[in-house]
A and B are shown apart, each in its own frame.
Chain A
Amino acid sequence: MKYLSFFPILLLQAAIMSQAWAAPVTFNTALPISEGVFLYRQQLRWQSSADDPSGMNREMDAQVAISVLGYGINSKLAVFGVVPWVDKSLEMTVNGNAIERDNRGMGDAKVFARYTFWQDDAQGRTFRAAAFGGLTAPTGKDDETDRFGRLPPSLQNGSGTWNGFGGVVATWQSMNFEIDGEISYEENREANNFEAGDESRLNFSWQRWYWPSDSSRDAGFLYGVEFNWLHRGQNKVGGQKEANSGGDTLWLAPTLQYVTQRYILEMALQKPVVQDLNGTALENDLIAITSVRFIF
């Protein structure tokens, strides 16, 4: 079953970098979080990967529930905790027989801080730039088994390692538009003789406001498009690089949000427009995202 480890690690890294405050659905923003204010976001993701170049008819589906709690220590510094719950299944054909393997449970949690180092405000608009950094903790189990033996890393809920990540995000927002850009890097470490490839990300979001009421503007719609580029390095097994792992993916996601002073409802559909994956790595098909955010 070694070939199962060729499957890309799908979900968590892509999902949990999206944060609790307003703006992009799929990644960070640099918008302010006030001192003493809590944010809670509950996000649900459905992901399907069924484009299998290996001929084994692999199909991987996953549902991820991501809970994010943030707190503003002061107007510049905010801290966040992210806990994912994952339900994954893999179907494939081996020697003419269809098999299915699945797993569910808590994934690896993340804690991180964001510090706003640049702020330029004017009436009805703002520009912010912030740096963020944190740790992924091995809270998800990484040694689950089924009747076929130990599950491959892509089906484990956790990585078994402490990983570090960091990046920079910038946001320009006015009463008409919002533009966000983010660059980030995560270093993945080795556990159980397996090391997932490091990940580099470049994200961009363009969104436009629609205000049902021109007077007070205490609620509005944000609609737009987000681009997410991900480069994943090759996995290593026993210190040796896996040929059928890693590569580049560019996602395109139309997004829609309903934004009020106390909550945000949002949805997005992420579709890969460019996939340049190594070897027979399983290609991604579609990710559907829906979530709600509260502030208190």
Chain B
Amino acid sequence: MKLIRVLFLPLLMATSGAWAQGPSYQVGVNGLSCPFCAYGIEKQIHKLDGVKQVKVDIGKGQVVISMDDDRTLEEAQVEAAVKRSGFSLRSFEQSQERVEK
């Protein structure tokens, strides 16, 4: 039984999204009300070190950011990126939600 666990645990870890990614963040953005304007915010956040995936939800006015393994984000970094894209930060919190590929 122990042998089976040793053999299959790495396989389970590799195929699990939870093991393959770092933390996720949910970012509330004010002023976001047009799909065409959303590209800029996606581009700015992608420039941040360690960002793996970005998903902009215009309807909710929020951005979900998934990080590479062992990488984290500071609120100040995200606030600056949101500002560079021409919008305003409303909220910033760690999230269980992940960006679907």
Contact = CB atoms under 8 A, between A and B. Distances in A.
B56 to A, nearest CB: 7
Q: Is the interface of B mostly helix, strand, loop or mixed?
A: mixed
B31 interface: yes
Contact of B36 (A121, A126, A260): A260
B39 A122 contact: no
A35 B31 contact: no
A281 interface: no
Contacts of A220: 35
Given A34-B41, A217-B58, A261-B38, A124 B84 contact: no
A97 interface: no
Contacts of B9: none
Contact of B34 (A72, A76, A121, A173): A173
B34 A216 contact: no
The interface size bin for chain B is 20 to 34
Interface in B44-95: 44, 56-59, 61, 83-88, 90
Contact of A35 (B44, B57, B59): B44
B57 to A, nearest CB: 6
B28 interface: yes
B37 A22 contact: yes
Contacts of A215: 59
A192 interface: no
Contacts, number: 108
A32 B61 contact: no
A31 to B, nearest CB: 6
B30 A175 contact: no
A121 B30 contact: yes
A216 B31 contact: no
A215 B38 CA distance: 15
A262 B56 CA distance: 13
A216 B59 contact: yes
B90 to A, nearest CB: 6
A18 B56 CA distance: 27
Contacts of B30: 121-123, 126
Nearest to A296: B39
A175 to B, nearest CB: 5
B85 A32 contact: yes
Interface string A256-277: 0001111010000000000000
A37 B59 contact: no
Contacts of A175: 33, 58-59
A102 to B, nearest CB: 37
Contact of B59 (A75, A217, A262): A217
Contacts of B31: 32, 119, 121-122, 125-126
Contacts of B27: none
B40 interface: yes
A295 interface: yes
Contact of A34 (B34, B44, B59, B88): B44
Contacts of B87: 32, 121, 126
B58 A216 contact: yes
Give me the 9 closest cross-chain CB pairs, A-B, nearest first: A34-B40, A32-B86, A121-B31, A121-B30, A126-B31, A217-B58, A34-B85, A22-B36, A217-B59
6 contacts: A22-B34, A32-B31, A34-B86, A36-B84, A123-B30, A216-B58
Interface of A: 21-23, 31-37, 72, 74-76, 116, 119, 121-126, 173-175, 178, 211, 214-220, 259-262, 264, 293, 295
